[in-house]
Structure 1
Amino acid sequence: MQLIWLRSDLRIDDNTALAAACQRGPTIALWVASPGQWQAHDDAACKVDFWLRNLRQLREGLQALNIPLLVRHTDTWADVPQTVLDVCRQHGIEAVHWNDEYGVNEAQRDQATHQRLQDEGIAAHGHLDQLLFQPGTILTRAGHYFQVFSQFKRVCLEHLHRSLPARAAQVKAQAPLAIDSDPIPQHIEGFEGTPRALREHWPAGEDEAHQRLARFIDERVADYPQQRDLPAKQGTSQLSPYLAAGVISPRQCLHAALASNHGEFDSGNAGVQTWVNELLWREFYKHILVGYPQVSRHRAFRAHTEHLPWRDAPDDLQAWKDGRTGFPIIDAAMRQLLHTGWMHNRLRMIVAMFLSKNLLIDWREGERHFMRHLIDGDLAANNGGWQWSASTGTDAVPYFRIFNPVTQSQRFDAQGLFIRHWLPELHGQSEKLIHFPVKSADLFATNSYARPIVDLDSSRQRALEAFKGLSGWQDQGI
């Protein structure tokens, strides 16, 4: 008997560990709820709700294949090794299969589980699944993990030109087992309260993920280079929640994109090339978790930036969280996050740079807030994006490049369509004034919109002086 231990791989198609287990014999599936661990990781309630909804869909799919799904509960991952072992003893399991996850806590959990099983004579197999390349196989000539994305991407494309990662074998129905599937809980204590509208915005299931992928490839990928930066447009795939939960795989995305471009990476459809680039960014940040584990421990990649004089400004931080900064593009983006569990990628960069540069508030405060609200919350991507914006991370934006939220708004939401959608109090503003309504004292006096909490010019100068005051930039080649 084989056991597939499901984690962030909530699908049947192209599931490496599931396919491997089923090829070796009768298989049962296991999913472990660990709410204390999720709280420690700042996982959002809407994200946990998304997992549960996808698990219910997955349970039905597994039942059609006669694969029972068992559900167990632990508080933290410290109890997971014993929980997995107990299931193995109960059902006479010979081997356990799982798809590898990345991060310090994940690695410790899996190593402990592997050891516990090995001590009991039970085989344990980790499989490459949520990445295209095994960490440690994409390295510099000196044998180190890359720190610059463009160099990492070049080596990845060289490998992909030689051969594409194969999708996992199709899972076939097995003979029925005398084991009943467990019910999937409707909610987990401490993670309740996901609004119905948010759930409807993000339907669960593999079919939904593949329909989104097909629509994106068929209807929008050609315009992706131009449309992806415009938050008022449906220009992105909006697959990130499904990728984060493993409802769809990077391999499936890559194969679909290339199939629409005659197998080409660097010619033909520019949108496909740009989107593959984004898939490789996700890959890059997960490799960083393995090669530079300090980023999993809430540490800056660039160690000298730990000495930045971050401001303790709780009122400013709360105004940023609530969407009350007085800068419309910032506030609209933050309200989008609170209401949908998602934020447009261009806006993630704008609001992150505003917090870490203009407000000079520690990027970790923003990283934590995002994780507590994002339905696509992913340690690698979230940490990588925040450190990039704060100029503390690998491949980071130079500290002296600070986005101006007003000019960013004028450039990427020129008509104010996105702003008007999320800030109804500015609905009547002109296209000229909607990006910074405080410019007009008369208009400002007649609407309820907040005054700016910071002066852009002086706060920019404050950030430049703070970064310039650090030793270490010369060592980093800046």
Structure 2
Amino acid sequence: MNVFWHRRDLRATDNRGLARAAATDESVVPCFVLDPTVLEHASPVRVACLLEALEDLRSWYRDRESDLLVVRGEASAVVPEIAAEYDVTRVVWNEDYSGLARERDRAVRAALEEEGIAAESVHDAIHHEPGSITPNQGEHYSVFSYFWTKWRDRDKRDPAAEPAADDLAAVSGEPTPTLAALGFNEPAATPPTVTTAAARERVADFCSGPIYDYVERRDFPAESGTSRLSPQLKWGTIGPRELYAATERAAERAEGDGNRESVREFQRQLAWREFYAHVLAFNPETVTENFSGYEHEIEWREDPDALAAWQAGETGYPIVDAGMRQLRREGWMHNRVRMLVAAFLTKDLLLDWRAGYDWFRRTLADHDTANDVGGWQWASSTGTDAQPYFRVFNPMKQGREYDPDAEYIREYVPELADAPADDIHDWHELSDDDRERIAPDYPAPIVDHGTRREQAIAMFERARGEGS
């Protein structure tokens, strides 16, 4: 028999590792390991999504008279135990690219080899594995536009076929543990539905209409202009090749160059995810260190009260607070607003991006190490292809431009529900008396943006040795 070890690929279709394990005369024993070392970095909302996706996948296997064995313990111990119990000759899994995952996988591989069991890993989560898209010199691109040009023009594999029922071993596992059994409280946010059916429904809905308006609508958080597929991509309930194929079909149906350009722009966002996966694969230290190299020169402030206000959505900057409250309510945040809240933390509050990354890790249903580290270091001007330090987002102008009628803000900041849009966007300029009259329960701005912008630029100039 072969074991296929599921991780962040909780689907049966378009799963290259599962297809590889099934492409022999041996039956496949599917398993998933609830590893305490990995769960230490998890959060209630993400584990809730994980458990739902596991149950959905187990139903798929059970419908074919098999099952997904969900076991608890250190992967380097329990994967060899499963292999021994079922007299397995080979264990297959799909690659992950974080430092923690690679350390775990090395330990599992060593334990299997010690028992004389073959171990095979497959690239599945991205189209083009790290090291396959490179500059003439160096291991990976640090500028996205160059990466995108090559990524865009490379052929993409077709979706991998799902295994037949006859390929699967007739196994039966113990019930999936509950959140409480794993030591997690119920999440504060309402988790999204994370199943293959939900993923496919979202892909179908998005590719039938919104994808053609993606360029025009994706930056407006009050509109349904994005795919909201990130939780599905996080847990792999849909494969990257299946999703890309759906976008290619959408491009074929597109009416006019504008619609095709919108499809291409969405594909470009998929390429950003892969770009950050490549960067992390070659630079695992960037989870805790600045990619830019000037690690200790940046004079980040220590201000627990400001951090707490940012986390709670109580900064007095409406678009920022709306985003942070959406995160607390839904475990998700619109991408444009993610950039704004990250820029506000690092450039207005002058707080270390790692504090923001840690909060996202604890609260996002779609937290992905590569994507979040890349995004946070982009916003804080410390990463690859980052926002230049002297370009500081103005949160008031951003709110007025991307939420002009304050629909999004009012949805998530009910204290401003009856406030005129102009007053919301001018909140920083209003007098205390006017703020008290318009929305007495909403706070005044905790910092002055203009002052902090100048301080942020000076801080980065000193760090880079450019100040006098």
TM-score, normalization by structure 2: 0.95
Task: Tell me the amino acid that sits aligned with residue 81 of structure 1.
Answer: S
Aligned to 2:80: 85
SS at match of 2:444: coil
After superposition, the Cα gap between the structure-2 partners of 1:464 and 1:203, relative to the gap in structure 1 and judged at 3 Å, is same
Indicate whether 1:170 and 2:156 are aligned. Answer: no
Q: Structure 2 counterpart of 1:139, which letter? A: T
Distance (Å, rounded) in 2 between the aligned partners of 1:307 and 1:30: 46
Corresponding residue for residue 371 of structure 1: 361
Aligned partner (choices 104, 110, 125) of residue 130 of structure 1:
125
* Equivalent of 1:287 in 278, 284, 296: 278
| Stretch of structure 1 that moved more, 420-429 or 364-373 | 420-429
How far 1:354 sits from its partner (Å)?
0.5
2:43–2:363 Cα contact (<8 Å) kept: yes
Q: Structure 1 stretches of 5 or more lacking a match?
A: none
Give the aligned partner of residue 278 of structure 1. Answer: 269
Q: Distance in 1 between matches of 2:21 and 2:314?
A: 51
Aligned length: 460
Amino acid in structure 2 at the alignment position of 1:117: L
Instruction: Confirm or deny that 1:13 pairs with 2:6.
Output: no
Three-state SS of the structure 2 residue aligned to 1:295 is helix
How far apart in 1 are the matches of 2:246 and 2:442? 45
Aligned-pair RMSD on alpha carbons? 1.8
Residues 318 and 174 of structure 1, relative CA distance in 2, 3 Å threshold: same
In structure 2, the partner of 1:251 is 241
How far off its partner does 1:349 sit? Answer: 0.4
Judge conservation of contact 1:355–1:366 (CA < 8 Å) in 2. Answer: yes
CA 143–166 in structure 1, closer or farther in 2 if over 3 Å, else same: farther
Q: Residue by residue, what CA displacement relative to the aligned partner does 1:400-447 show, whole Å, maximum 9, x if unpaired?
A: 000000000000000000011111111111121112325333331232
Map 1:39-118 onto structure 2 (within 5 A): 39=40, 41=41, 43-74=42-73, 79-118=74-113
**1:106 deviation in Å?**
0.8
Give ranges in structure 2 of 5+ residues lacking alignment: none
**Matching of residues 311-350 of structure 1 within 5 Å:** 311-350=301-340
* CA distance in 1 between partners of 2:183 and 2:466 (Å): 43
Q: Is the 8 A contact 1:387 1:393 kept in 2?
A: yes
Q: Distance in 2 between matches of 1:247 and 1:232?
A: 26
Q: Quick one: structure 1 residues 305 and 143, their matched pair in 2 at CA, closer, same or farther if it must change by over 3 Å?
A: closer
Matched with 2:260 is: 269
Q: Which residue pairs with 1:431 in the alignment?
A: 421
Structure 2 CA distance, aligned partners of 1:325 and 1:178?
A: 56
Deviation, 1:384, is 0.3
Give CA-to-partner distance per residue, 1:37-60, whole Å, 9 cap, x none: 322x2x221111000001001001
The answer (yes or no) to whether the contact 1:363–1:390 under 8 Å persists in 2 is: yes
Pairing 1:93-242 to 2, within 5 Å after superposition: 93-159=88-154, 163-174=155-166, 177-187=169-179, 188-194=181-187, 198-199=190-191, 202-242=192-232
2:456 aligned with 1:463: yes
| Matches of 1:205 and 1:325, distance apart in 2 | 35
Give the match's secondary structure for 1:307.
coil
Q: 1:398 corresponds to which residue?
A: 388
CA distance in 2, matches of 1:380, 1:7: 16
The residue type equivalent to 2:463 in the other structure is L
> In structure 2, how many angstroms separate the alpha carbons of the residues matched to 1:205 and 1:277?
24
Post-superposition offset of 1:270: 1.5
**Alpha-carbon distance in 1 for matches of 2:265, 2:295:** 31
What is residue 349 of structure 2 aligned with on the other side? 359
In structure 2, do the counterparts of structure 1 residues 471 and 203 end up closer, same or farther at CA, with 3 Å as the change threshold? closer
Q: Distance in 2 between matches of 1:170 and 1:473?
A: 56
1:83 & 1:126 partners in 2: Cα distance? 17
- Residues of 2 paired with 1:401 and 1:176: CA distance? 55
Q: Secondary structure at the match of 1:289?
A: helix
How far apart, CA to CA, are the structure 2 residues paired with 1:123 and 1:181?
Answer: 23
Return the alpha-carbon distance in structure 2 between the equivalents of residues 215 and 395 of structure 1. 32
Q: Report the Cα offset of residue 71 of structure 1.
A: 1.6
Contact 1:54 1:204 in 2 (8 A): yes
- Alpha-carbon offset, residue 268 of structure 1: 5.8
Give the distance between the partners of 1:290 and 1:118, measured in 2 at CA.
Answer: 24
* Alignment-derived partner of residue 30 in structure 2: 29
Aligned sequence identity (%):
37
Which residue is 2:398 aligned to? 408
After TM superposition, give the deviation of residue 158 of structure 1 in Å. 2.5
Deviations 1:187-242 (A, max 9, x none): 243322125x714xx22311110000010010200111111100000110000000
- Whole-angstrom distance in 2 between the partners of 1:204 and 1:455: 40
- Tell me the alpha carbon deviations over residues 135-181 of structure 1, each in whole angstroms, 9 at most, x when there is no partner: 1111101142100000111111222xxx2222212311117755312
Cα deviation code 1:304-358 (max 9, x no counterpart): 1432000000100100000010000011110000010000000000000010011
Show CA shifts across 1:335-387 (max 9, x none). 00001000000000000001001111000000000110000000000000000
In 2, Cα distance between equivalents of 1:217 and 1:50: 24
Deviation, structure 1 residue 263: 9.3
Q: 1:286 to 1:176 in 2, by over 3 A?
A: closer
Distance 1:473 1:22, change over 3 A: farther
Distance 2:443 2:451 in 1: 19
Does the C-alpha gap of structure 1 residues 18 and 175 become closer, same or farther in structure 2, counting only changes over 3 Å? closer
Which amino acid counterpart does residue 268 of structure 2 have in structure 1?
N
**What's the offset of the Cα at 1:5?**
0.5
- Are residues 301 and 28 of structure 1, via their aligned partners in 2, closer, same or farther at CA, if it must alter by over 3 Å? same
Q: In 2, Cα distance between the equivalents of 1:51 and 1:338?
A: 18
Q: Distance in 2 between matches of 1:329 and 1:270?
A: 29
Residue matched to 1:454:
447
Q: Deviations over 1:108-134 (max 9, x none)?
A: 111121122122111111011101001
TM-score, normalised by the number of residues in structure 1: 0.93
The question of whether the paired residues in 1 share the 8 Å contact of 2:353 and 2:380 is answered with: yes
